[in-house]
Structure 1
């Protein structure tokens, strides 16, 4: 102690560094990303004709939980390291865009040949989150290739995937979110498709999926603002930040509505409090505060599904939980959704999640000159990275 009773400065415990300037934090993001890519690869191979949506959701959840169970099992200061699902596995089919994660007692829908499937999921290790989304067309088997993929679907899928790559490249220290919005709008315009207005890219922090910094896929028009859409405040990206690059595009008008499907995905509103009346509601909130205090969850994760379904309404009505409804486009619209996670490192922006776009998605339209140049540079970097990784693996194998 010093004379005035305060602690000596060298005895004050430093606050934990929770961004990418901490190498341990970076490792945890990388581990979560590996699990996401492994799970997504498995889900793609399982998404064939006859597969049940609920089985796919449960399969993805099992893979994530099994893989995180192998990591960081030593307690830190007597406390177990939290890890697991950061965003429930969602399987959204055809005109349904996102957030469809059904309950086993209510839905047994099977995938059919030609269905358009959007997979969305998230994983965390010690609160450090990795997310991804992917679009595919259902074939007979994992080995067969979809045939007769509609031209408009191929076009919107190529547009969404290229926009994701371009946006990931544009998010770098010193750039602004308006810079990224402009490049996404440019890609959408070039391919003649529309962005899904409600989808936003977000900064991610420890236990936070939707940080303050966000990126709109398009600037709202005066009409959009009149209808309630809020402009995104401008922000500047900084080194050591993490972002979810989330892009959804459609052949429709991009104005979506809630689907006629039960909402099963929710997130705790940590700023809200209310004395609940129903026993079932108190059960739900107690379970959420204990197991899912900050990250999204699905009703499927509750031991007592009946109680959860009964209690969720009061929790939502009083603002304790925020719903993630399944969103839908027009029946004849084609929708593509791709998402990846990027780390803003000293060496540059590093894309750590996401699978390559299926080769059967094709379009006759060519990207504009600037987009084509950036995609070529990205492809060359990825190829160089792959060669380096293969050489390192071969060298390691040769030493054995």
Structure 2
């Protein structure tokens, strides 16, 4: 059983983006996430089972993490924890999030059909520094086919999500607020005639923390509001944008949660032997980051024990959410570093393979999208040293992992 993350020694100093080593770890985690995302998308072919795609994404992450930082040690002399920070989820059409079936439930047999809109979400960490990513694509008829172009209302949702994410990255700067980003998402949705999905939050993250207290809400309503916060230098954010062709509300239905996260600090004397065994496994192997029941040694026991664990708050479930039947949900997720001189997206945000018939006319969005993202590369100090390291830390990812910042064409 692969560990997806163990918090290193509590006494170890938690470094931020001021450290070039930390920036490098975020970039390296993002490179693995980008590869896993691309591999899963390549496998989205008619007839492919969703459970196999989820397992494939997790394997690419585990193998990629196993190949790096093998000589590195933390302050206590232990090997660095690395691996899955969020299990691969493949949500189809009106499924909004967290569809990650296990072999012992009724959804293990779900397969893809040509033309389905799939949303792939996953996360990687190296030494507790997380890179998360999500994107959408249409299912191909055959492996050799190019990804089909998304059209119709699904294309409107996908283009709106991508437009909002691109514009939001340009707003994600010190001195601006989460309300500014929410407003950008609202404008993009209105421009393409779709709805931002309620209940979706973007989180500030830090080492071993995937859901920080500072958040951006995808859609602010009377029932769903968050406190206004101001962005600061050297923060890391996972920007999460979800658009729907339906009413913008997702609900739990028949699919049960299979992704959970350990609630640190919560204790309870479990009554069932199976629950105690499962909790011991979680504490040992998944103390920090979300995990799938599929990652436990015994799925059947894990499924049984998780019910008692969740009932007493020892774990938090990530519910499988659905929009109304017939709707499409498009999700885009990108990890971004708010550096002093630029906001650097480290996970891929490629232009969608979609053709929307809607022309973007919102002048504020057009002005934002016209702004360059990033900065010109500086020449490295030939003498090396701290100055050269600082420049290197703020350089964008290598070309193979760089984000496509081209504005989407309507």
TM range (shorter): 0.7 to 0.9
With over 3 angstroms needed to count, the CA separation of the structure-2 counterparts of 1:380 and 1:341, relative to structure 1, is closer
Are 1:51 and 2:48 an aligned pair? yes
Structure 2 CA distance for aligned equivalents of residues 204 and 236 of structure 1? 15
In the other structure, the counterpart of 1:139 is 140
- TM-score when scaled to structure 1? 0.87
In the other structure, the counterpart of 2:408 is none
Highest CA radius of gyration, 1 or 2? 1
Contact 1:37/1:355 (CA < 8 Å) preserved in 2?
A: no
Contact 2:148/2:353 (CA < 8 Å) preserved in 1?
A: no
In the other structure, the counterpart of 2:289 is 295
SS of match in other structure, 1:59: helix
SS of match in other structure, 2:371: helix
With over 3 angstroms needed to count, the CA separation of the structure-2 counterparts of 1:284 and 1:380, relative to structure 1, is closer
Structure 1 CA distance for aligned equivalents of residues 53 and 109 of structure 2? 11
Larger helix fraction of residues: 1
In the other structure, the counterpart of 1:90 is 89
Once the two structures are superposed, the pairs formed by residues 219-368 of structure 1 within 5 Å of their partners are: 219-221=220-222, 225=223, 229=224, 231-368=225-362
With over 3 angstroms needed to count, the CA separation of the structure-2 counterparts of 1:219 and 1:121, relative to structure 1, is same
Task: Tell me the alpha carbon deviations over residues 214-236 of structure 1, each in whole angstroms, 9 at most, x when there is no partner.
Answer: 00112213xxx2xxx3x211111
In the other structure, the counterpart of 2:182 is 181
With over 3 angstroms needed to count, the CA separation of the structure-2 counterparts of 1:22 and 1:303, relative to structure 1, is same
SS of match in other structure, 2:334: strand
Once the two structures are superposed, the pairs formed by residues 359-378 of structure 1 within 5 Å of their partners are: 359-378=353-372
Task: Tell me the alpha carbon deviations over residues 4-28 of structure 1, each in whole angstroms, 9 at most, x when there is no partner.
Answer: xxxxxxxxxx962421011111111
Structure 2 CA distance for aligned equivalents of residues 346 and 160 of structure 1? 26
Contact 1:342/1:350 (CA < 8 Å) preserved in 2?
A: yes
In the other structure, the counterpart of 1:37 is 34
SS of match in other structure, 1:207: coil
Once the two structures are superposed, the pairs formed by residues 53-68 of structure 1 within 5 Å of their partners are: 53-68=50-65
- TM-score when scaled to structure 2? 0.85
Q: Kindly tell me the number of residue pairs found equivalent between the two proteins.
A: 370
- Per the TM alignment, residue 78 of structure 1 is displaced from its structure 2 partner at its CA by 2.3
Contact 2:153/2:245 (CA < 8 Å) preserved in 1?
A: yes
Task: Tell me the alpha carbon deviations over residues 327-367 of structure 1, each in whole angstroms, 9 at most, x when there is no partner.
Answer: 00011212100110000112210011124133334332324
Query: Unpaired segments of 5 or more residues in structure 1?
Result: 1-13, 391-400
With over 3 angstroms needed to count, the CA separation of the structure-2 counterparts of 1:47 and 1:378, relative to structure 1, is farther
- Per the TM alignment, residue 378 of structure 1 is displaced from its structure 2 partner at its CA by 4.1
In the other structure, the counterpart of 2:217 is 216
Query: Unpaired segments of 5 or more residues in structure 2?
Result: 1-10, 377-394, 401-410
SS of match in other structure, 1:134: strand
Task: Tell me the alpha carbon deviations over residues 261-319 of structure 1, each in whole angstroms, 9 at most, x when there is no partner.
Answer: 12100011113211000001111111111111121111000111111111111100011
Structure 2 CA distance for aligned equivalents of residues 49 and 322 of structure 1? 33
Task: Tell me the alpha carbon deviations over residues 72-127 of structure 1, each in whole angstroms, 9 at most, x when there is no partner.
Answer: 11233421100000000001111111101111233122211011101000000000
SS of match in other structure, 2:161: helix
Contact 2:133/2:333 (CA < 8 Å) preserved in 1?
A: yes
Query: Bigger CA drift: 148-157 or 235-244?
Result: 148-157
Contact 1:176/1:234 (CA < 8 Å) preserved in 2?
A: yes
Structure 1 CA distance for aligned equivalents of residues 338 and 98 of structure 2? 27
